[in-house]
Structure formats: structure tokens, C-alpha cells
Structure 1
């Protein structure tokens, strides 16, 4: 495990708590940890004045809010607690400058979703919680509730986002599958349409042939009927002429 990366959250000097790869040793002060490890090179921090009951309680609350970070180097286990030193106005201004510098160095996005920007602002907010908790533990606990609520809300939005992405992917896959089915059905309907058009053309050709035959038959029938009519008219005219001749001859006799 490599040492943790640099953070905007202010920490004390790391303390060697164990050389064993197994169980951790009980908590010891930074001075004791360094003095009991002759193989280590870190210089022990200067001794701190013995904290009073309120300061000690605030420090315990601070460690519960912002737990120490641990890492191993070979068989050595190091622990680094957050700093319990009060913060000055200059340090707050420096924190703002460090935040801007890290945003530029890590090329965080100015707008939109950016994990890098979120991480840096989370570190900055933790540092503000540390500064406030040192002076007023109750205010620090209240800020802790605010931080946890923000993280819970972000996690909920992230879950919703991932769910919406998965839903969109499923719908896209379903649409692709449905698109293939619709294209297949469209091809089948197109083939059926072509078959129906072919049948329609055949039926039209049959209809035209039938109409043509009926027209020819009608012309033949009309011609035959006209010839019979003309024959009957001639016969009628002949009979009429004969009848008139008979009537005339009987009149003169």
C-alpha cells in the first residue's frame, strides 16, 4: 500500500504504530511512536501542551468525524490523524488558493459532472469541518450532518443516473431488436404487396381480355341483329307491296 496522496485536509505528521504485518499496536502518541522505532527516520513533532477536557473532547469528536488514515510501507504501519491545531484567517485564504491551484493542476471541469472537482471540493469541505470542529464541536457535528446529507443526495442522483443509463441502453437494444423485426415485417409486407400488385395486374389483364371478347361478340350480335332487321324490313316491304297490289286488283274488278 502506497502512502495517501496529498489532500486539502490538514493532517498531523504520520506516526509509526506497528512494525508487524499482523495485529496493530495500541494507540500511542506521536513522540512515543517515533522514540520506540530506532529504524525510522521521521523527526518527532514538538511536544504539545496537555489538552484540557474540552479540547480533548473536541479532538475525539474531530477524530470520529474525520478518521485517521493508515498505510503500510513493508512491515511498517503508519497512521496520520487530522490536525487539531486552530486555523487562522491567513490559512483560510491559503486554503482557497490551494483549491484553485489544484483545480487547475488536475484540469477539473468548470461546469457539468466532474469527479475531480467533486473530490477537491469534498476535501475542502472536510477541512472547513475540521477548522470549525476545533472551535465548536457542536457546529462541526452539524456540518457533518450537512456533508452526509449532500453525499447521500449525490449518491442517490448517481444511482438514478446509472439506472437511467441502464434503462436507456435496454430501450436502445429493444428498439434495435424491434427495428430488425419491423424491417423484417416491412420486407414481408413489401413482398406481399408485390404479389398483390402482380395478381391485380393479372386480373386487370383478364378483365381487359373479357371486355374485348364481349365487345367483339356484341359487335357480331349487333351486326347479325341489324342484318336480320334489314331482312325483315325487306320482307315486310315486299309483303306490303304484294298486299297493296292485291287490294288494287280487287278494287278494279
Structure 2
């Protein structure tokens, strides 16, 4: 017989429930599933009826405790060689030594399985969940109502963790989408920057060409202006000399002879 994975929850010895259907014998027992009571409400023990012995009342209470334990921590089932084995949770009350051993086993398995001390660690979460289930089992044996209340606390913690896990996964997916969009937008922006830089270089080349053309025109016009001014100055000087000569000749003609 190969038992299932070891757990911190205390179980009874495995029981053979049924064999292979093709080789089933009349002595093989059938597994009967019992309806699971609601998790948030538990049966309230009724006062023992008159006329019943204390032993029968204790047996009924023990059976009721076992039913509550099976509803909180369902029996483990596995098959081996065509045979179905069932292992129910133990209904033996826990002692102080059991609690000390539970703590030691928790520390030992955390070390053996190399669970991380901080951050998110599935191994540490699994072991602490098993430890919490074992504490619920121990408390339920002494007080069923307290065990059912702890069950509600456990289910609420699990739902909260599941909600945070779903939120984490959705946020990771959202972050990945944003990162992909950013990468795509980055490529588009880089392409746009390259195009603008090429346009800038083209415009700078045109500006340089226009500046050179403007400087050439200014230089040519300056040279032409200098030539025109020189020519104009020579013409003025020529006209002045001519005017002076004509004036001298005219004065010589008009002056009276002595």
C-alpha cells in the first residue's frame, strides 16, 4: 500500500473500502458518500434522552464529532492495484505533546522543503495551511462550534488569498499589455524621430544653400554697386572739368579787350 503525500493533519490508519469491480468479492465494502452539512452551521448536540446510558450518549457524541470532522476535512482516497483505500481524519483528542510535535514537524518540513521565509512561497503557504487544518481538527474535537467558526475563518482567508491572486494575475497581464503597447509605441516614436531628423537635415541643407546663394548675390551686387559708383564719380569729375573749361572759355570771350 502506497499512502498519499504526508500531511501535518493527523489521520487514522487507511481502510480498504472496495476492490476492482471485475474482481469484487461479497466481503468487499462499498464506499457510501454522506451528504456534507453546511460549513457555517454545525449540528448542536441535543440533550441525551431519558433512559439512555452514558456510554450510548458518548458514542453518539463521538459519531457526531467524526461526522463534523469528515465534513470539515474530507477523507483522503486513493487507488492502488485496483483497490480503493480511504483514510479518515483522526478523532483522537490532542495533547500538549501533540501540539509541540506539530510545531516541530512544521519547522522541520519548512526546512526540508526549503521554503522561503519572506515573500510569496507556495510551499510555505501549503505547510501553514496543513498546520491550520490540524489545529481546526484539534479544536473541533473539544468544541464543534469553535471548530466550525475556525472553518469559516479558514475559508475566508482562502477566498481573500484567491482574490489577491486573481488581482495579481490580472495586474501582471495588464502590465504586460501596457509594456507591449509601450514597446510598440516606442518603435513608432523612434521611426517618427528618424523621419523628423531626416527632414531637419534636409531643411538645414536648404537653408545653407539659400544662405550661400544670398551671400553670392550680395557680393555680386556690392561689386556692381562699387563699379557703378566709380563710373558715376568719374562722370562727375569729367563733367566738372568740362564745365570748368567751358566757364574759362566763356569768361575769356566775354571779358573786354584792353
Q: Extract unaligned runs of 5+ from structure 2.
A: 34-54
Report the more deviating stretch, 236-245 or 121-130: 236-245
Q: 2 CA distance for matches of 1:187 and 1:235?
A: 71
Aligned-partner SS, 2:124: helix
1:37 paired residue number? none
2:16 paired residue number? 16
Q: How many residues align?
A: 230
Residues 68 and 214 of structure 1: is their aligned pair in 2 closer, same or farther, counting only changes over 3 Å?
A: same
Contact 1:17–1:27 (8 Å) recurs in 2 = no
Aligned-partner SS, 1:232: helix
Aligned-partner SS, 1:79: strand
RMSD: 2.2
Correspondent of 1:26 among 19, 28, 31:
31
Correspondent of 1:222 among 218, 229, 239:
229
Q: CA deviation at 1:245?
A: 3.9
Correspondent of 1:104 among 100, 108, 111:
111
Aligned-partner SS, 2:17: strand
1:106-154 Cα offsets, whole Å, 9 max, x none, are 0000100000000000000000000001111111111111111111111
Query: Which structure has more RCO (C-alpha within 8 Å, separation ≥ 6)?
Result: 2
Q: 2 CA distance for matches of 1:187 and 1:124?
A: 62
Q: Extract unaligned runs of 5+ from structure 1.
A: 29-48
Report the more deviating stretch, 213-222 or 80-89: 213-222
Aligned-partner SS, 1:221: helix
Q: Give 1:24-173 correspondences, 5 Å limit.
A: 25-27=30-32, 51-173=58-180
Q: Give 1:195-214 correspondences, 5 Å limit.
A: 195-214=202-221
Aligned-partner SS, 1:12: coil
Matched, 1:177 2:167: no
Query: What's the TM-score, normalizing by structure 2?
Result: 0.82
Aligned-partner SS, 2:16: strand
Q: 2 CA distance for matches of 1:244 and 1:3?
A: 150
Q: CA deviation at 1:196?
A: 1.2
Q: CA deviation at 1:246?
A: 4.7
Q: 2 CA distance for matches of 1:213 and 1:167?
A: 68
